[in-house]
Amino acid sequence: MTNYLLKRLGALLPTVAVPMVLLFVMLRLAPGDPAAAIAGDSATTEEIAEVRGRLGLDASLWDQFLGWLGRVVRLDFGDSLFAELRVSGLVFEHAQVTVQLTVLALTVALLIGPFLGIAAGTRRHGLLDRVLVFGSSIGIAVPSFWLAVLLIAVFGVVWQVFPVAGYVPFSEDPVLFLHHLALPAISLGLVEAATLFRYSRAGVLDSLHQPFVTTARSMGLPERMVIRKYVFRAAVVPMVTVVGLTTGSLMGGAVVTESVFSVPGLGQLLLTAVQRRDYPVIEGCIFFIAVVYVLLNLLIDLLYSLLDPRIRY
């Protein structure tokens, strides 16, 4: 088991390392002087030199890399270039909001996608199936931020049942918390539900032709029982992997959706950092998202062995 975990961690290491190294390389390859761009147009030569020193851009490339690696391994991303704040603190504070939004959106997606997928898969070529398959194609084509804009217009502005922007911490008021995050979670979750729908429908179609399903039918079990006890279970297990991938794209989507609803999450932190070229903060955000993704997928691997007794590590 420990052996297996270490092996998986090794395999997942590139997910953290590659984006980080890519950012490191890109900053050094960037046309022009990044330090001058960060310091702004009116900066003096000394100010630019100071920024360059803080970013460590004045050393040789190899020394820069070693120093950078040492800091990343110690989880030290330094201070924001624009505020006297630790990057780790900033990221952690904003990440909580994003994690909450992601969990809510995942709930929405999981409540809708797999359920409809099974309904459509078991009625293949029926009217419901066709309508849902077409609907899911549209769901995949609709950008979540456009859905967000539309939802705000209908439920926030015309009917005024949900607030159009803002965030209330859960600890302050759980009801207001949900009230504020409802529209962001729905706009994010609905789009992802379309993907989950496709996977679960394919999973059902797949397992309908499995030998054990034929056996169950030939034993004379009623079709409802066959679907509930055999088809459903076989279709659900592979979904667990999909949930891992979905969570990745939900975190990505959250970055965009947060900006529509002015939710103070990681997305807002990242966007502000990108606009100001606050390099340490960008690095911290990317690192955090990658680590969460890796841990989540590790967890899902373990969950697998619980759900499917054939898999043992």
Binding segment (CB under 8 A) for another protein, from list 18-26, 71-79, 220-228, 300-308: 18-26
Residue 178: burial class (beta carbons within 10 Å; 0-12, 13-18, 19+): middle
Binding segment (CB under 8 A) for another protein, from list 16-24, 63-71, 106-114, 231-239: 16-24
Q: How far is CA 93 from the centre of its chain?
A: 17
Rank residues 145 and 170 by Cβ distance to another protein and give the closer one: 145
Binding to another protein by CB under 8 A, coded x per residue (else -) over 34-53, reads x--x----------------
Provide the minimum distance between the beta carbon of 183 and another protein in the complex, in angstroms, as a whole number: 13
Provide the minimum distance between the beta carbon of 247 and another protein in the complex, in angstroms, as a whole number: 9
Told to check if 176 binds another protein by CB under 8 A, we report: no
Q: At what angle do helices 127-141 and 87-122 cross, to 10 degrees?
A: 160
List the one residue out of 258, 263, 251 whose CA is nearest residue 288. Answer: 251
**Residue 120 CB partners (closer than 8 Å, separation 6+):** 128, 129, 132, 133, 197, 201, 204
Provide the minimum distance between the beta carbon of 129 and another protein in the complex, in angstroms, as a whole number: 14
Q: For the segment 245-264, give every residue that binds another protein (CB under 8 A).
A: 245, 248-249, 251-253, 255-256, 259-260
197 vs 174: CA distance, rounded Å: 30
CA-based radius of gyration for the chain: 24
Told to check if 19 binds another protein by CB under 8 A, we report: yes
The count of chain residues that interact with another protein, using the rule CB under 8 A, is: 57
Strand residue runs (E) in the chain: none
Residue 55 contacts residue 34 (beta carbons within 8 Å):
yes
86 vs 1: CA distance, rounded Å: 37
Provide the minimum distance between the beta carbon of 174 and another protein in the complex, in angstroms, as a whole number: 28
Residues that bind another protein (CB under 8 A): 11-12, 14-19, 22-23, 26-27, 30-32, 34, 37, 137-138, 140-143, 145-146, 149-150, 152-153, 157-158, 202, 206, 245, 248-249, 251-253, 255-256, 259-260, 270-271, 273-275, 277, 279, 282, 285-286, 289-290, 293, 297
